[in-house]
Amino acid sequence: MKADSKYCVSYSHYSRRKAVEVFIGEVPLGGDNPIRIQTMTTTNTNDTIATAEQCIRAYNVGSEYVRITTQSTKEAANLQNIKEELERQGITIPLIADVHFNPAAALESAKHVEKVRINPGNFVDPRAKFKMVEYSDSDYKQELARIEERLIPLLDICKKRKVAIRIGVNHGSLSDRIMSRYGDTPEGMVESAMEFLRIFRKHNFHDIVISMKSSNTRVMVQAVRLCVVAMNAEGMNYPLHLGVTEAGDGEDGRIKSAVGMGALLADGIGDTIRVSLTEEPEVEIPVARKLVSYFEGRQTNPRLDEIGSLPYNPFEYKRRVSEKVLNIGGENQPVVIANLSGLKKVTGEVLSEWGWSYNSETEEWTRNDLSADYILVEKGCDISVPKVENLPIIGSENSIAAYSVNEFLNQKEVKKGCFLKVSYNDLNSEELQGLLRSDVPVILLLQTENANGFAEQRAAFITLMNLGITRPVVICRNYADSDTELFQLKAASDVGGLQLDGLGDGVMLTAPNISRQTVCQTAFSILQASRTRISKTEYISCPGCGRTLFNLQDTLKKVKAATAHLKGLKIGVMGCVVNGPGEMADADYGYVGAGYGRVSLYKGKELVKKNIPEQDAIRELVAIIKANNDWVD
Query: How do residues 218-265 score in pLDDT, each as one tens digit?
Result: 999 999 999 999 999 999 999 999 999 877 778 889 999 999 999 999
Whether residues 379 and 496 share a domain: the answer is: yes
Q: Is residue 6 part of a domain?
A: no
DSSP H or E run through 442: strand 442-447
Secondary structure of residue 219 in the 3-state scheme: helix
Whether residues 212 and 95 share a domain: the answer is: yes
d(CA 212, CA 222): 9
Q: What is the DSSP letter of 89?
A: T
d(CA 148, CA 12): 41
pLDDT of residue 579: 56
Q: 76-85, 206-215, 391-400, 604-613: which has the minimum mean pLDDT?
A: 604-613
Whether residues 45 and 113 share a domain: the answer is: yes
Average of per-residue pLDDT values in the chain: 92
Distance of alpha carbon 331 from the chain centroid? 24
Whether residues 150 and 281 share a domain: the answer is: yes
Determine what percent of the chain is predicted with pLDDT higher than 70.
Answer: 96
Q: 59-63, 315-319, 585-589: which has the minimum mean pLDDT?
A: 585-589
Q: How confident is the model at residue 5 (pLDDT cuts 50, 70, 90)?
A: confident
Interhelix angle 614-627/552-563, nearest 10 degrees: 30
pLDDT of residue 580: 59
More confident residue, 67 or 559: 67
Q: Is residue 47 part of a domain?
A: yes
CATH number of the domain enclosing 197 = 3.20.20.20
More confident residue, 131 or 6: 6
Whether residues 77 and 202 share a domain: the answer is: yes
Residues 6+ apart with CB under 8 A from 1: 187, 226, 229, 230, 315
Q: What's the one-letter identity of residue 61?
A: V
Interhelix angle 186-202/137-161, nearest 10 degrees: 60
What are the start-end ranges of the H helices in 89-216? 103-109, 137-161, 176-182, 186-202
Q: Which of 204, 185, 254 is nearest to 484 (CA)?
A: 254
More confident residue, 568 or 507: 507
Q: How confident is the model at residue 415 (pLDDT cuts 50, 70, 90)?
A: low
Whether residues 546 and 591 share a domain: the answer is: yes
Q: How confident is the model at residue 582 (pLDDT cuts 50, 70, 90)?
A: low
pLDDT of residue 35: 98
d(CA 599, CA 619): 12
Does the pLDDT at position 274 exceed 90?
Answer: yes
pLDDT of residue 583: 63
Q: Is residue 441 part of a domain?
A: yes
d(CA 205, CA 199): 9
Does the pLDDT at position 578 exceed 70?
Answer: no
Question: Is residue 63 classed exposed, middle or buried when 0-12, 13-18 and 19+ CB atoms within 10 A define those classes?
Answer: buried
Note the pLDDT tens digit of each residue in 172-231.
888 888 988 998 899 999 999 999 999 999 999 999 999 999 989 999 999 999 999 999
d(CA 590, CA 608): 10
Whether residues 241 and 262 share a domain: the answer is: yes
Q: Which of 358, 354, 357, 355 is nearest to 338 (CA)?
A: 354
Report the b/e string of 141-153 with b at 16+ CB within 10 A.
eebeeebbeebee
Q: Is residue 312 part of a domain?
A: no
d(CA 217, CA 242): 11
DSSP secondary structure of 501-516: TT--SEEEEE-TTS-H
Q: How confident is the model at residue 572 (pLDDT cuts 50, 70, 90)?
A: confident
More confident residue, 344 or 575: 344
pLDDT of residue 6: 93
d(CA 88, CA 172): 39
Write down which residue in 492, 507, 529 finishes a domain.
529
Strands 589-595 and 598-603: antiparallel
Report yes or no: 491 and 520 within 8 Å, Cβ to Cβ: no
Does the pLDDT at position 598 exceed 90?
Answer: no
Write down which residue in 475, 496, 529 finishes a domain.
529
Q: How confident is the model at residue 1 (pLDDT cuts 50, 70, 90)?
A: low
CATH number of the domain enclosing 614 = 3.30.413.10
Q: 130-144, 366-380, 421-435, 605-619: which has the minimum mean pLDDT?
A: 130-144
DSSP H or E run through 556: helix 552-563
Does the pLDDT at position 363 exceed 80?
Answer: yes
More confident residue, 606 or 286: 286
pLDDT of residue 336: 98
User: How many structural domains is the chain composed of?
Assistant: 3
pLDDT of residue 416: 79
pLDDT of residue 136: 83
pLDDT of residue 271: 98
pLDDT of residue 31: 96
d(CA 453, CA 497): 12
Whether residues 219 and 70 share a domain: the answer is: yes
Q: 351-360, 579-588, 590-599: which has the minimum mean pLDDT?
A: 579-588
Q: Is residue 307 part of a domain?
A: no
d(CA 379, CA 398): 10
3-state helix, strand, coil split of the chain in percent (to 5) is 35, 20, 45
User: In sequence order, what are the beta bridge partners of 242?
Assistant: 273
CATH number of the domain enclosing 458 = 3.20.20
State phi, psi for 599 to the nearest 5 degrees.
-135, 145
Note the pLDDT tens digit of each residue in 381-409.
999 999 999 999 999 888 999 999 999 99
Q: Is residue 1 part of a domain?
A: no
More confident residue, 345 or 607: 345
Whether residues 622 and 576 share a domain: the answer is: yes
Q: Is residue 4 part of a domain?
A: no
Write down which residue in 529, 550, 581 finishes a domain.
529
Residues 6+ apart with CB under 8 A from 35: 265, 270, 271, 272, 273, 292, 295
d(CA 612, CA 295): 46
Note the pLDDT tens digit of each residue in 275-312.
998 889 999 999 999 999 999 989 999 999 999 999 99
pLDDT of residue 93: 96
Residues 6+ apart with CB under 8 A from 429: 405
Q: Is residue 330 part of a domain?
A: no
Strands (E), 449-605: 473-478, 506-510, 538-541, 570-574, 589-595, 598-603
Q: Which domain holds residue 278?
A: 22-293
Does the pLDDT at position 3 exceed 60?
Answer: yes
Determine what percent of the chain is predicted with pLDDT higher than 90.
Answer: 72
